[in-house]
Amino acid sequence: MSLNEEVELLRAIPLFAKIEPAKLKLLAFTSERLTYEADQVLFNQGDMGDAAYIVMDGEAAVLINAPQGRIEVARFKRGDIVGEMAILCDVPRTATVQAVGNLTTLRVSKDLFFHLVTEFPQMAIEIMRELAHRVERMNIQLREAVIKARN
């Protein structure tokens, strides 16, 4: 994928939509492109967060440790960002993220991520919206699981 194609993908992500193209080009250029094969792990639950990952191509599964083993709770696909919660909150990763088939990501370091949030407050608002949507989806899933367990 060319630098211009990466910039176009970034512009399509609500988090980055209002950032000027020159800054997105800098983001794409300074971020690390990583490729993974099926079942390779991007990071493990409990690791300290040092970067967020933007899915450029492929899918990633989000897995949490449970008494019965790992449980898949979500999937991320092209244009999704994963791992930002741990770098925003300075807490250990809340889940393991693993490639589903071939996966290409753009790894955005913690320092670069905070620089962008500081320089572009709209990005911080979009992050809050995305995290709120995730919490809402998780609450719905939890309610459904409780109802199912009671029946």
What tokens were used for 100?
């589903």
For residue 103, report the phi and psi dihedrals to the nearest 5 degrees. -140, 135
- pLDDT level of residue 21 (50, 70, 90 thresholds): confident
Q: Would you state the pLDDT for residue 10? A: 87
| Mean of pLDDT over the chain | 88
Other beta carbons within 10 Å of 4 = 11
Residue 131 has pLDDT above 90, yes or no: no
Listed ranges 61-75, 76-90, 107-121; the one with the highest mean pLDDT: 61-75
Give the Cα separation of 151 and 145 in Å (integer): 10
Give the Cα separation of 90 and 69 in Å (integer): 26
Residue 30 has pLDDT above 90, yes or no: no
The more confident residue out of 116 and 98 is 98
DSSP-assigned states of every residue in 39-101: T-EEE-TTPBP-EEEEEEEEEEEEEEEETTEEEEEEEEETT-EESHHHHHHT-B-SSEEEEEE
Give the domains, in start order, of the chain with CATH numbers. 3-150 (2.60.120.10)
SS3 assignment, position 111: helix
pTM: 0.80
Do 76 and 59 touch, CB atoms closer than 8 A? Answer: yes
- pLDDT level of residue 151 (50, 70, 90 thresholds): confident
